């Protein structure tokens, strides 16, 4: 009596063709089922899975990757110090979204920090060896050389927010301009008029767009923009504290603050309390990100919610599309996609 077990008709390990024959479908359909493609009917998927179980077929991922000149690995590169990555909820939420999107694939995710010159040099050598199929770049600064390096190496990449309005790489971002407008319009609707803004790092395009949104919302409401009410921050708690202290020294009559991140807002709150200012009675406060920090602050922080986990998932979708496209990167320039997701203001007691 013939038995199948872990061997196919050839006597060796079962092949994809044998699984297809047993299931009564084509080889490509079997491949789609094995790779988790949604473009397969439930009945067909069940037939293929039954054939795989009967024959004991095991996908040879290493051979498939080698034949396709693939590594089945993606790098999430963070050009920031590790301390910032673990201190700011933005990064953990992004990682959560990326991980969720990859969970149904056979791709491995590598987390790489490149916050120092030494780490960047080591990363450049690693990437030059083409050990990953693609790269996700998070928190990219305007002068960051990594995107250009990836283009030179012909490695597909997606970044979390463009470096400028002339960005050529695929990117996924939230509507920084619109989110800032929402924050300022909310404060204006609460009767505030001396509204200050603590920026993020201004070599980050998203931070620049938040400043633009702040300025335009003030102008549209008939208020002249006082540049002295804009203080540079760096997305950190200490940066928020320093900026708020400087603003209070220059403008003790400030009655509202829009901070470029929740972490920055927490530093601003500390400075306001040290100065004896009540929130929101004396100074209303709004942050950005709608992270756990916003919900746990006292009083709870009004914040602009950007869908960070969704951004991570969309970045993976774009990157896998780029990886599957075999054309040279330079030939895809006009087809590059920049995706912008909507924001939402979440009102709480701080404003």
Residue pLDDT, tens place only, 264-273: 999 999 999 9
DSSP string, 252-295: TT--EEEESSHHHHHHHHHHHHHTT--TTTT-EEEEEE--HHHH
Which three-class secondary structure state does DSSP give residue 329?
helix
CA geometry: angle at 108 spanning 107 and 112, to 5°? 135
The CATH fold assigned to 176-305 is Rossmann fold (3.40.50)
Give 194-230 pLDDT, tens digit per residue: 999 999 999 999 999 999 999 999 999 999 999 999 9
Mark 130-164 as b/e (b = at least 16 C-beta within 10 Å): eebbbbbbbbbbeebebbebbeeeebbbbbbbbbe
Of 100-104, 180-184, 197-201, the least confident: 100-104
Q: How far apart are CA 87 and CA 199, in angstroms?
A: 18
Of 65-69, 122-126, 228-232, 329-333, the least confident: 65-69
- Spelled out in words, what is the top-level CATH class assigned to the domain 73-173+309-325? alpha beta
Residue 6: its pLDDT value, please?
A: 45
pLDDT, mean of residues 296-300 = 95
Angle between helices 176-189 and 205-220 (to 10 degrees): 40
Q: How far apart are CA 264 and CA 127, in angstroms?
A: 34
Residue 298: pLDDT over 60: yes
Average pLDDT over the chain, rounded to whole?
87
Residue 261: pLDDT over 70: yes
- Spelled out in words, what is the top-level CATH class assigned to the domain 16-68? mainly alpha
Closest CA to 55 of 11, 18, 25: 18
Residue 281: pLDDT over 70: yes
Closest CA to 192 of 214, 172, 165, 175: 214
Instruction: Tell me the pLDDT band of 186, cut-offs 50, 70 and 90.
Output: very high
pLDDT, mean of residues 285-310 = 95
CB 157 within 8 A of CB 172: no
Pairwise pLDDT comparison (294 vs 329), residue with the higher score: 294
Instruction: Tell me the pLDDT band of 241, cut-offs 50, 70 and 90.
Output: very high
Domain borders along the chain are 16-68, 73-173+309-325, 176-305
Residue 332: pLDDT over 90: no
Residue 210: its pLDDT value, please?
A: 97
The reply to whether 16-68 and 176-305 are identical in fold is no
Of 175-189, 285-299, 329-343, the least confident: 329-343
Mark 324-334 as b/e (b = at least 16 C-beta within 10 Å): eeeeebeeeee
* High-pLDDT (> 70) share of the chain, %: 89
Instruction: Tell me the pLDDT band of 106, cut-offs 50, 70 and 90.
Output: confident
Q: How far apart are CA 140 and CA 254, in angstroms?
A: 32
pLDDT, mean of residues 75-87 = 85
Instruction: Tell me the pLDDT band of 336, cut-offs 50, 70 and 90.
Output: low
Q: How far apart are CA 332 and CA 318, in angstroms?
A: 13
Instruction: Tell me the pLDDT band of 251, cut-offs 50, 70 and 90.
Output: very high
Residue 335: pLDDT over 70: no
Instruction: Tell me the pLDDT band of 10, cut-offs 50, 70 and 90.
Output: very low
Residue 330: its pLDDT value, please?
A: 61
CB 330 within 8 A of CB 322: no
């Amino acid at each position: 009596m013939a038995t199948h077990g872990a061997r196919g008709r050839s006597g060796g390990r079962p092949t994809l063709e044998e699984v297809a024959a047993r299931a009564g479908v084509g080889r490509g359909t079997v491949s789609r089922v094995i790779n988790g493609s949604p473009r397969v009917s439930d009945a067909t998927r069940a037939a293929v899975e039954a054939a795989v179980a009967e024959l004991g077929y095991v996908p040879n991922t290493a051979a498939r990757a080698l034949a396709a000149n693939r590594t089945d690995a993606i790098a999430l590169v963070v050009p920031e110090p590790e301390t910032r990555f673990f201190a700011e909820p933005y990064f953990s939420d992004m990682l959560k979204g990326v991980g969720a999107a990859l969970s149904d694939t056979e791709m491995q995710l590598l987390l790489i920090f490149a916050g120092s010159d030494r780490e960047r040099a080591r990363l450049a050598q690693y990437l030059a060896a083409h050990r990953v199929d693609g790269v996700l770049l998070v928190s990219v600064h305007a002068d960051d050389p990594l995107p250009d390096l990836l283009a030179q190496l012909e490695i597909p990449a997606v970044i979390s927010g463009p470096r400028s309005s002339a960005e050529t790489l695929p990117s996924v971002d939230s509507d920084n301009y619109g989110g800032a407008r929402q924050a300022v319009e909310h404060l204006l609707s609460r009767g505030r008029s001396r509204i200050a803004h603590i920026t993020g790092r201004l070599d980050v395009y998203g931070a620049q767009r938040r400043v633009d949104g702040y300025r335009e919302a003030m102008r549209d409401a008939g208020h002249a923009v006082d540049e002295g009410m804009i203080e540079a921050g760096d997305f950190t708690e200490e940066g928020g504290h320093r900026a708020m202290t400087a603003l209070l020294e220059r403008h003790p009559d400030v009655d509202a603050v829009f901070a470029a991140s929740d972490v920055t807002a927490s530093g601003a709150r500390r400075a306001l309390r040290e100065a004896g200012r009540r929130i929101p009675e004396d100074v209303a406060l709004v942050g950005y990100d709608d992270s756990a920090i916003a919900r746990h602050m006292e009083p709870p922080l009004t914040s602009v919610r950007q869908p960070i986990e969704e951004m991570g998932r969309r970045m993976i979708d774009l990157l896998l599309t780029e990886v599957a496209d075999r054309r040279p990167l330079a030939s895809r320039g006009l087809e590059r996609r920049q995706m912008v997701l909507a924001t939402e203001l979440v009102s709480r007691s701080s404003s």
